[in-house]
Amino acid sequence: MPDFVTMDSHIEVKFLETGKTKELKLVYPQNANYEDGLISVLSPLGCALLGFKAGDSVAFEATGGTQIVRIEKVLFQPEANGEDLL
Residues 6+ apart with CB under 8 A from 12: 21, 22, 23, 24, 71, 72, 73, 75
13 secondary structure, DSSP code? E
**Is CATH 1.20.1280.50 what the domain over 10-79 is classified as, yes or no?**
no
Tens digits of per-residue pLDDT, 36-46?
Answer: 999 999 999 99
pLDDT value for 78? 86
| C-alpha dihedral, 58 to 60 to 65 to 68, nearest 10° | -20
44 secondary structure, DSSP code? H
pLDDT value for 43? 96
Sites in the chain below the pLDDT cut of 50 = none
Q: What is the model's pTM?
A: 0.88
pLDDT value for 79? 79
